[in-house]
Structure formats: C-alpha cells, structure tokens
Structure 1
Amino acid sequence: MKNRMSKPDTDNGIEDVSLLILEWLGEQGVSALIRFDAERPRNQWTFAASGEALPEPVRNDAMSAAECLSNGLVLIRRQGMDVPF
C-alpha cells in the first residue's frame, strides 16, 4: 500500500462507520474529531487528528462529512497508519 496513492472514496458509506473510525483511532492513541461550522460559507466540515501514532497532525476541510472524513483518512494512511475502514 505504501507504493500506491490512496484516493478518497465518498461513495462507500463512510458516514455509516464514522463513529467506528473515530473510536478505532482513539484506541490507537489518536485524538480525532469531525466538526461542522455553520459560520463558514464553504468547506464547513473539518476533520482533525493528532497523537503519538501520527508523525504529523492531520486536518482536512470539505463541503460534506463523507468527503471530509474520507480525505482525512487518506492523509492518515499516507503517514503509514493502516485504517481498517
């Protein structure tokens, strides 16, 4: 997987497993959140994650929850964490 670039997949029902993903990340020592900011006109969703298991903190902003979380997981995978979702 390290030689291939991960691509966001917003059609795989990621909303259905979002809480499981956040819980799994927490079990790995990663603090994570997904947030909606009504005051922003664009990219109202934010995903952020940080912790000892990640070399660098991750943040992604997007127009939908699915896109935001999916892109965030791509960034986490690029840092070497194999997220099982």
Structure 2
Amino acid sequence: MAEGTGRRPKADLDSGVEDVTLSILEWLGEQGVDALIRVDAERMRDGEPAWTFAASGGPLDGGVRADGASVAECMGKALLRLREAGLAVTF
C-alpha cells in the first residue's frame, strides 16, 4: 500500500493463490490458527460473493474474514487481511 494515499491494496487475482490454498490452510494450522474456506451455494445462486475464508486463534488477536466471488479473490483478500493482522503468509 502506498503511504498516505488512503487506498487499500488489491488482491492479486493472477497470483495462483487458488492452487496453494490447501497448503496455506495447512501452514496456518501449524501456526496454531484455526482456518477454513467454504462456498455458500445460496449466495452463489443469488449472485453474491459465495466464497468465505475465516481464521482465528494462534498469533491472531482477533478473527479474520474475507469474502469473494472466486477462490482466488477470496484468498487474495484473506492474505491481505492476515498480513494486516500481523501474520505474513508466504507461498
């Protein structure tokens, strides 16, 4: 994020994050973080962002949640939120 612009960084949808989602969840578990990703069929039918990532525990002070229309969007946002919470996930 650029200093002083007030803009939030954007999720990189071309990063391939959907290919390593299970590895990220496993790594989070090794850090003591409870984490999950789910798809909500009802929200998908309604045209709403159907994918949700949620994490809590371990080194996180509070919970982290991210929603997206695709796995890539959801996990891209999740990685940004985890980083903002002080947990940098490298993949």
Normalising by structure 2, report the TM-score.
0.83
How far has the Cα of 1:52 moved from its partner?
Answer: 2.6
Structure 2: gaps spanning 5 or more residues:
none
Structure 1: gaps spanning 5 or more residues:
none
Aligned residues: 83
Aligned alpha-carbon RMSD (Å) = 1.7
How many percent of aligned residue pairs carry the same amino acid? 56
Bigger CA radius of gyration: 2
How far has the Cα of 1:43 moved from its partner?
Answer: 0.7
Cα distance in 2 for residues equivalent to 1:14 and 1:51: 22
* One-letter code aligned to 1:50: S
Normalising by structure 1, report the TM-score.
0.88
Higher RCO, 1 or 2 (CA under 8 Å, sep at least 6)?
Answer: 1
- Correspondence for 1:20: 23
Cα distance in 2 for residues equivalent to 1:44 and 1:19: 18
Which 4+ runs in 1 deviate beyond 3 A? Answer: none
